[in-house]
Amino acid sequence: MASAKTQKIIIIGAGVIGAVIAYNLSRRSGNSITVLERATPGSGASGHSFAWVNAFGKDPREYHTLNRRSLDIWYRLAHQLNEDIGIHYGGEMRWENTKQRAAELQHRIQKLQSWGYPCKLITSDEMLLLEPELSSGPIEAASYSEADIHIETDKFISVCLDRAMEFGVSLHTEHNVTDIIIDKGRIVAVKTDDAEFLCDVVVFACGIQTTELAALAGVQIPQQRSPGIVIKTSPCATVLHNVAVIHAPSVDVNHQPLHLRQLADGTLRIGQGTQEGINRDDSQEHADTLLAQAKTYLPAIGTADAIPTPVGYRPMPLDGFPILGFTKAVPNLYIALMHSGVTLAPLVGEMATLEILDGARVDWFNPYRLERLQ
């Protein structure tokens, strides 16, 4: 039997993607794996995420299926890790209060059902059975997507990295990668402010900084700027008893729809608009307004305070779809850059491992190779 080749693998970035890749790689013995993180784990987009794991609004069909595959793997990964990763089961519930948006929701549910997504239209009585604290106002249509979950990214990252380190991975925080050394077309070393790490393979899991770092290797990664805000609150009574995430319509024409989830410590996370909505308003006033809207639907939130959070930037390739795989220009450079990274993390962790360690080319990733953008 041929023995597997030992490789020195460097992962740059310890967000959900770097952490899950490190965990998956570490489960296969014989390689030397190092994670370099310029700040602290989860300090990039992962720490600002709404972290709704879903394939609800993902088009076209192929991209929906990619997300769906990962959503299904989340259940297996949670079982495998068997620790508190802040996973909240229970599905996603939403409703609409205008005829036009109700028609759009009905159409979406019909399409998702034809794709085999476990979702359905529900009545106002069924909504109240799921969430008794809800004061929904007028309802034109409502739906429930049973498989959706949400994650507490800080817990997940920390469990993945702890497991990876138990399997021998070295994690270096506060190690800012500043240079990439190329020899004969391959990356041979990665430099931080005060150290140099030799490598056979480098994985870029560095979110929005991927473009800047790839340029050092002569690789162009086109990205768009996508700022978003998810505010926090102080802990409050349990306002969501069953579902993991709700999407509520705008309270009036001056406001956007909102999405909300409740964590195990009782705090809420609230965002507005769509998952990709642009928002740079990190003021207390904006946070107060969002919370006030949420209270109209969930009065049991009571006296919780709104805590503004800094703007988070979504890693967002130019066409909105992931960039996954080794690059043709620099064959030992593996890119893992994507929006919806919380949803996609388990799939990316497993499939990237097959591509990196076994030389497989997973055809599910073929539409998402970098070369499509060049």
Residues that bind ligand FAD (CB under 6 A): 12-18, 36-39, 43-46, 48-52, 176-177, 205-207, 209, 213, 228, 230, 275, 312, 314-315, 338-343
Both structure tokens of 204: 């870029």
CA–CA distance, 293 with 299 (Å, rounded to integer): 10
Minimum separation from the CB atom of position 215 to ligand FAD (A)? 12
Residue 152 gets which letter from DSSP?
-
Minimum separation from the CB atom of position 258 to ligand FAD (A)? 13
Both structure tokens of 37: 């993180």
CB 86 within 8 A of CB 244: no
CA–CA distance, 248 with 19 (Å, rounded to integer): 32
> 48 or 369: whose CB is closer to ligand FAD?
48
Minimum separation from the CB atom of position 123 to ligand FAD (A)? 27
> 102 or 270: whose CB is closer to ligand FAD?
270
> In a 3-state reduction of DSSP, which class is residue 34?
strand
Minimum separation from the CB atom of position 90 to ligand FAD (A)? 15
Minimum separation from the CB atom of position 124 to ligand FAD (A)? 26
Minimum separation from the CB atom of position 352 to ligand FAD (A)? 12
Parallel, antiparallel or unpaired: strands 32-36 and 170-172: parallel
> 158 or 343: whose CB is closer to ligand FAD?
343
For the chain, helix, strand, coil in percent to 5 are 35, 25, 45
Looking up tokens 């900084």, which residue turns up? 209
Residues 6+ apart with CB under 8 A from 271: 50, 228, 229, 230, 231, 258, 259, 260, 277, 279, 290
